[in-house]
Chain A
Amino acid sequence: MGGVKSIPSPAISADERSHEVDHPSSQVAHFGTEQPLRLDCGVDLTPFQIAYQTYGELNADRSNAVLICHALTGDQHVANVHPVTGKPGWWETLVGPGRPIDPKHYFIICSNVIGGCMGSTGPASINPSTGKVWGLDFPVITIPDMVRAQAMLIDRLGIDALFAVVGGSMGGMQVLQWTAAYPARVFSALAIACSTRHSAQNIAFHELGRQAVMADPDWHGGGYADQGIHPHRGLAVARMAAHITYLSDAALHRKFGRRMQDRELPTFSFDADFQVESYLRYQGSSFVERFDANSYLYLTRAMDYFDIAADHGGVLAKAFADIKTRFCVVSFTSDWLFPTSESRALVHALNASSARVSFAEIETDRGHDAFLLDVPEFFDISRAFLQSAGKARGLKGS
């Protein structure tokens, strides 16, 4: 049987990927051995670097800084053309001129997370003690580690308190971790499509993705960089599986139904007859162009370990005791990865802490991905929440 196409190899070489890892097209904050990052696993990561983008100007009293936290496969290029893919910023629907988070009013910061692969130190970076790529020698990191690193960046930028911390999915986890760890440094928190802990089902999906990566012979026990290759097939399968969880049955049906891809009849082969197959293969192959396989393992692991209540004696409300931060929690009806029930549990805990919280569930059939898409009701709510917080903070123009 000829003509069966597997997932195509990436159009981009391993060399180009590693360039963004070590020499990102972003601003970089270097932290030397005098400023180690103390990780939850007990290791001090040093030296390390954080790659970040900023938009807008910091005002005179340094009160208008907004930190955007990116999701699992996002990066710091929230509102500019991506240096590798050439695509627009991943959250230009929310961040940018005329958008709810407008650089005209706010100093917007977005950094690549620790463990990422777009310029912040991670498993694809060079381990200074060996001169080789870290690979699996990189220590396991957690969401609190990511936030600790961000706090060091904020210190470096001379910002004491952030006006807002904003993020969806894994970014939302970071938002919640910020409020639990540094309540006095966060004036307002916009946590979207997220949870205070990763569910068993979500851990299961992550394990599926990691096993797909590790089952690729090109993974070489995590040491593929030394061989000059990349386990793109395994990583693409991981991405395909994950991508399904970001959508919904209704959205897939509306978008693709059972329609065929460039053909009228089935080919009676394992070629991508259906549009949905073709779409998933494209998602898989375009992802591996910009993402490191080991980084995917580390970041999914960080999400799995996330459980704020567990860090506070099992009582979620204790994490937010007497907090002054203004919260806005948003969920989407068709999101089955971070369902509304998770947001509601968070809201109950915030109520129990007498925190000032708004909570809106938005009706959409677009699943978890809705937070990245054009959902006007979500933008209205985000804009109003930040404006009212801005008024309370005394920001001009809000």
Chain B
Amino acid sequence: MSVQEVLPLGGVATGQSGDFRADYRLVAEMVKPGSKVLDVGCGEGDLLQLLETRGIDGRGIELSREGVNRCVAKGLAVVQGDADTDLVNYPDDAFDYVILSQTLQATRQPRVVLENLLRIGRRAIVSFPNFGFWKMRLQLLIGGHMPRTENLPATWYDTANIHFCTIKDFVQLCDEINVKMERSVALDLYGRPVPLNLPWWVWNMFGEQGVFLLSRGGGK
């Protein structure tokens, strides 16, 4: 089952301009032209296609056979594989960037996956839905049920998203495994960045998703 299938990010779709999702455009901006990129959980290859237009050598891994075959039929270098089990097959420093877009929460071992991303790539770009988003909190607080949103419509019993976290949680994990955050952006429900000058707790409350550019920490 593809992450794209369980997590159709309708609400953060195209934004005002262009054919690509706002978070994809943000991710693509973070990647230096001419670099080598691995997109883990690449779905049907939209982000890879966007990267290709910017002269980036992109590769992909996708869990669903349908997703892979559609990517390959677009001429993309994509293999069928699982972020949890297949990243170990890649050597150290094989890529300039490894991207994990809206997939972290669907992995069995997010911490191990994150560590692998920064072993294989000199940098990692991770985006994930923020479970600290005010709509989520409100549903749990007032409604007393597991939150469901336009972007995360699955019920608790059929969701593939088994490891939700908040932006705060993710920042904490990065600290724990000595990962440096080079750039962090929270996008609101409409794919607009939450203003930079606001404090963390605002991001964690009003960011519908977080997008992080990460690199290896310099050692403690």
A363 to B86, CA, bound (A): 21
Q: Which of A366-380 contact B (CB under 8 A)?
A: 377, 380
Indicate the member of A352, A360, A362, A377 with the most B CB atoms within 10 Å: A360
Residue of A nearest to B59 (CB): A356
Q: Which of A51-108 contact B (CB under 8 A)?
A: none
Q: Which A residues are in CB contact (< 8 Å) with B68?
A: 359-361
Determine if A381 and B72 form an interchain contact, defined as CB atoms under 8 angstroms apart.
yes
Contact pattern, B 33-77, Cβ under 8 Å of A = 1, otherwise 0: 000000000000000000000000101000001001101111111
Determine if B91 and A358 form an interchain contact, defined as CB atoms under 8 angstroms apart.
no
Q: Which of B69, B78, B89 contacts A377 (CB 8 A)?
A: B69
A244 to B78, CA, bound (A): 32
**Which of A142-150, A164-172, A383-391 lies at the binding interface?**
A383-391
Indicate the member of A358, A361, A380, A387 with the most B CB atoms within 10 Å: A358
Determine if B77 and A357 form an interchain contact, defined as CB atoms under 8 angstroms apart.
yes
Answer yes or no: B190 CB below 8 A from chain A CBs.
no
Q: A360-B68, A381-B73, A385-B72 are in contact. Are A351 and B78 (CB under 8 A)?
A: no
A384 to B69, CA, bound (A): 11
Q: Which of B69, B74, B79 contacts A351 (CB 8 A)?
A: B79
Answer yes or no: A281 CB below 8 A from chain B CBs.
no
Residue of B nearest to A356 (CB): B77
Determine if A361 and B65 form an interchain contact, defined as CB atoms under 8 angstroms apart.
yes
Q: Which A residues are in CB contact (< 8 Å) with B91?
A: 352, 354
Determine if A362 and B79 form an interchain contact, defined as CB atoms under 8 angstroms apart.
no
Q: Which B residues are in CB contact (< 8 Å) with A351?
A: 79, 86, 89-90, 94
Indicate the member of B57, B65, B89 with the most A CB atoms within 10 Å: B89
Q: Which B residues are in CB contact (< 8 Å) with A381?
A: 69, 72-73
Answer yes or no: A326 CB below 8 A from chain B CBs.
yes
Interface size range of chain B in the complex: 20 to 34
Indicate the member of B57, B78, B79 with the most A CB atoms within 10 Å: B79
A380 to B76, CA, bound (A): 13
Answer yes or no: A348 CB below 8 A from chain B CBs.
yes
Q: Which of B80, B90, B94 contacts A360 (CB 8 A)?
A: B80
A381 to B70, CA, bound (A): 8
Q: Which B residues are in CB contact (< 8 Å) with A344?
A: 80
Determine if B59 and A348 form an interchain contact, defined as CB atoms under 8 angstroms apart.
no
Answer yes or no: A328 CB below 8 A from chain B CBs.
yes
A129 to B57, CA, bound (A): 55
Q: Which B residues are in CB contact (< 8 Å) with A354?
A: 90-91, 94
Answer yes or no: A240 CB below 8 A from chain B CBs.
no
Determine if A388 and B69 form an interchain contact, defined as CB atoms under 8 angstroms apart.
no
Residue of B nearest to A377 (CB): B69
A377 to B78, CA, bound (A): 15
Residue of A nearest to B91 (CB): A352
A326 to B68, CA, bound (A): 17
Determine if B69 and A357 form an interchain contact, defined as CB atoms under 8 angstroms apart.
no
Q: A356-B77, A357-B77 are in contact. Are A362 and B69 (CB under 8 A)?
A: yes
A388 to B74, CA, bound (A): 8
Q: Which B residues are in CB contact (< 8 Å) with A385?
A: 72, 75
A385 to B77, CA, bound (A): 9
Answer yes or no: A337 CB below 8 A from chain B CBs.
no
Q: Which of B74, B75, B80, B90 contacts A361 (CB 8 A)?
A: B80
Q: Which A residues are in CB contact (< 8 Å) with B94?
A: 351, 354
A391 to B89, CA, bound (A): 29
Determine if A384 and B73 form an interchain contact, defined as CB atoms under 8 angstroms apart.
yes
State the Cβ distance, B116 to closest chain A Cβ, in Å: 13
A260 to B90, CA, bound (A): 53
Indicate the member of B68, B75, B76, B81 with the most A CB atoms within 10 Å: B75
State the Cβ distance, B184 to closest chain A Cβ, in Å: 29
Q: Which A residues are in CB contact (< 8 Å) with B69?
A: 360, 362, 377, 381
Q: Which B residues are in CB contact (< 8 Å) with A352?
A: 89-91
Indicate the member of B59, B65, B73 with the most A CB atoms within 10 Å: B73
State the Cβ distance, A105 to closest chain B Cβ, in Å: 15
Determine if A384 and B80 form an interchain contact, defined as CB atoms under 8 angstroms apart.
no
Q: Which A residues are in CB contact (< 8 Å) with B78?
A: 358-359
Q: Which of A326, A361, A362 contacts B77 (CB 8 A)?
A: A326
Determine if B77 and A360 form an interchain contact, defined as CB atoms under 8 angstroms apart.
no
Nearest 5 Cβ contacts at the A-B interface: A388-B75, A359-B79, A348-B89, A358-B72, A384-B75
Supplied contacts A357-B79, A358-B76, A360-B68, 5 more A-B pairs, CB within 8 Å: A348-B89, A359-B72, A360-B72, A361-B65, A363-B65
Interface residues of B (CB under 8 A from A): 57, 59, 65, 68-69, 71-81, 86, 89-91, 94
Q: Can you pick out 15 interface pairs between chain A and chain B where the beta carbons lie within 8 Å of each other?
A: A326-B77, A348-B86, A356-B57, A359-B68, A359-B72, A359-B80, A360-B65, A360-B80, A361-B65, A361-B80, A381-B69, A381-B73, A384-B72, A384-B73, A385-B72
